[in-house]
Chain A
Amino acid sequence: DAGITQSPRHKVTETGTPVTLRCHQTENHRYMYWYRQDPGHGLRLIHYSYGVKDTDKGEVSDGYSVSRSKTEDFLLTLESATSSQTSVYFCAISSPSIRYTFGSGTRLTVV
């Protein structure tokens, strides 16, 4: 019913381990985005997708990769997590009229 869901909601991981966050939409929207939100920095774009297998880098893409094999799923992977990647991660989808709908976020802690 929410149109967009993120999983997991919370995760604690160790430095150096790979982590994958999942975003799932039921709206069939073309555009999907991954943001991170940190105090003092607002929302910063990590990567975005404009279609299946079509992705591009955002403002803070270093250390992150994404994949979109289906319209409904957009995965964000931290290849080797670092403490600087401790953050709250939000996925968003955009309608053709650029109305964004955000997921509820994933709080990631890298220890």
Chain B
Amino acid sequence: TQLLEQSPQFLSIQEGENLTVYCNSSSVFSSLQWYRQEPGEGPVLLVTVVTGGEVKKLKRLTFQFGDARKDSSLHITAAQPGDTGLYLCAGSSNNAGNMLTFGGGTRLMVKP
């Protein structure tokens, strides 16, 4: 069974601070995705990284896929209250059902 562990589980910071969320596994994934979920809604895809060492930027969010394709990080610069939400990483291993393995999530609160 492939597992993805996210850390930290909870994070409460002030507006303007920087933060990093980690997603780790002992398994190799063919791609890694990050989702953001707001209360009362389903997760929404932010980014997909597919190449070991790949870095993608989405405004103030920087996503990195580890060289060995076993881990990933999400870094937010100058966090805003609008960044508040649940961040989920999910790994794909080219299985027949297009199934994703989800991490447990990091709940982020950014206080004004």
Residues of A within 8 A of B (CB): 31, 33, 40-43, 45, 48, 50, 56, 58, 90, 92, 94, 97-105
Within B86-108, which residues are at the interface with A (CB < 8 Å)? 88, 90, 92, 96-100, 102-105
The answer to whether B42 touches A31, judged by C-beta atoms less than 8 angstroms apart, is no
Q: Which of A31, A42, A98 has the most CB of B within 10 A?
A: A98
Instruction: Pick the interface stretch among B43-51, B59-67, B70-78.
Output: B43-51
The answer to whether A48 touches B99, judged by C-beta atoms less than 8 angstroms apart, is yes
Residues of B within 8 A of A (CB): 31, 33, 35, 40-45, 48, 88, 90, 92, 96-100, 102-105
| Assembly CA distance A43 to B104 (angstroms) | 7
Known contacts A42-B104, A104-B41; can you find 18 more A-B pairs with CB under 8 A? A31-B97, A33-B99, A41-B104, A42-B88, A42-B102, A43-B43, A43-B88, A56-B97, A58-B99, A98-B33, A98-B92, A98-B100, A99-B48, A100-B43, A100-B45, A100-B100, A105-B40, A105-B41
